[in-house]
Amino acid sequence: MIETVPPSPPPSPSRLTDMRPQGRFRPHLQVRLLLGFVLGMGGGTLAGLFASTSPATALLMRWVVKPVEQAFLFGMFLLIVPLLVSAIVSGIARLRSMAGMRRLLFSTLAHMLAASLAAAVIGLAMANLFRPGDVVPTEIGQQILAASHPQAPQGWLDAAFSYAAVERPILIVILASVLTGVALTFLRTRRSGQVLANSERVFDAGLRVLGYVAHLAPIAVACFMFDLTLVFGWHLLLYLSAYVGVVVAALLLQVALTFFAVVWMRGGVTPTVFLRGVQEPAVIAFCTSSSNATLPSALKAAELDLHLPPRAARLVLGVGTIANQGGTAIYTAVTVLFIAQFFGMDLSLGKQGMVLAVAALAGMGTIGVPAGSLPTVAAVLALTGLPPEGIGLVVGVDRLLDMFRTMVNVVGDIAIATAVSRDQQGRTLPAM
């Protein structure tokens, strides 16, 4: 019989309390985030209306807004690898046997696949029902196509953490972490026990550092929203309001129908308690448009706010950075049908089935970085024979929709972690 490393005891309530940031930061976080959101959006709107070409606005963007954005993202990205590795390694190593690990992985992937399929179905249904592509006048659409085109990342940080830059490293990190965790379940030595203990220490230290980085979150949120509202062409919303509205409505349906059902029926947690627990990572995901950058905050919310057991929460959230992107599935389905409707090339039932399959697969394997869904949309356009220029229709509002779908992706990760945690415990999780 294979001997395994005894799982580390779950953190005690006092230890969880010690891991929380000290001072007044914790109780007022949601209020400060909301305040930063409102001030940033209001300031950006006023600057765009009255001072868009002012030298003072340019100096503010160059020396204040952009540096704060980059500092916050840099701090979050620095925490990704240590927290991702320690979360997956310790989560798997806590399992008592290979059978337990197989059940956890199977339950995780089954929930993620079901959520991704539901997202693709919701996206196709909403696009067929409301047909947003029929609303855009042809002449306006041609102007948007001529003026909009994919742009290369600007700035060293955007280039460093672009889709191509992080795709392979993140996959390698996740694979190596899973293999390390599996190896620890087979070994029972002092050295393997030290590896597990060190992994726990790294995770705890990462949460502590996150508490200090998060002090910058309300200011960063204000800068992100100021940047968005100043640079983003709000006039495009008038032309593409139907498309934007359908995508956002489909994303909200995914949360209300799929995720609430998962946390309530499968996880034993009411939607109200769940929403209260995911406020912080949801706001950060919305403003950063990066599931990867939100991973540290999501791990903290899962363990400290929703009290999910580490062995399930850490593995699910780690894998979820690449394998649970329901927002991407919805965005892909709606965008492809929107482009087809605009060009008057309605897709047949067979081609819509292809879109459904590819969108669902995209929801199971898209890297959580800004604009990470655009390559998937381009691939589906090629598969269905639609003009590739159609992607120019949505580039102008992609940043806005990226914020919404990233928020849905992160909320979905935590929802599935809640359901899988109950499956592992065999009982209802404690209510808050």
User: For 252-274, what is the mean pLDDT?
Assistant: 93
- The answer on pLDDT for 49 being more than 90 is no
User: For 134-162, what is the mean pLDDT?
Assistant: 57
Q: What is the pLDDT of residue 95?
A: 62
- The answer on pLDDT for 152 being more than 70 is no
Q: What is the pLDDT of residue 155?
A: 42
Q: What is the pLDDT of residue 29?
A: 67
Rounded-to-integer distance, Cα 49 and Cα 312, Å: 49
Give 191-241 pLDDT, tens digit per residue.
777 777 888 888 888 878 877 777 788 898 888 888 877 866 566 667 788
User: For 393-403, what is the mean pLDDT?
Assistant: 81
Give the pTM: 0.74
Q: What is the pLDDT of residue 351?
A: 92
Q: What is the pLDDT of residue 151?
A: 45
Q: What is the pLDDT of residue 235?
A: 60
Domains plus CATH for the chain? 54-425 (1.10.3860.10)
Give the relative orientation of helices 326-342 and 235-253 as an angle to the nearest 10 degrees: 130
- The answer on pLDDT for 408 being more than 80 is yes
Q: What is the pLDDT of residue 56?
A: 92
Hey, which of 30-44, 248-262, 337-351 has the most confident mean pLDDT? 248-262
Where does residue 254 rank: exposed (0-12), middle (13-18), buried (19+ CB within 10 A)? buried
Instruction: Pick the closest to residue 226 from 26, 393, 67, 27 (CA basis).
Output: 67
Instruction: Pick the closest to residue 389 from 348, 344, 339 (CA basis).
Output: 339
Give 294-319 pLDDT, tens digit per residue.
888 999 899 988 999 888 888 889 88
Q: Are 72 and 255 in contact (CB under 8 A)?
A: no
Tokens (6 digits) for 277: 């627990």
Hey, which of 46-55, 152-161, 236-245, 262-271 has the most confident mean pLDDT? 262-271
For the chain, the average pLDDT equals 78
Choose the weakest-confidence range: 245-254, 395-404, 420-429. 420-429
- The answer on pLDDT for 2 being more than 70 is no
C-alpha triplet 299, 305, 308: angle, nearest 5°: 65
Neighbours of 400 (CB within 10 A): 18
List, in sequence order, the alpha helices (H) in 308-391.
310-323, 326-342, 349-362, 374-384
Residue 139, SS3 per DSSP: helix
Q: What is the pLDDT of residue 410?
A: 93
| More confident position, 370 or 267 | 267
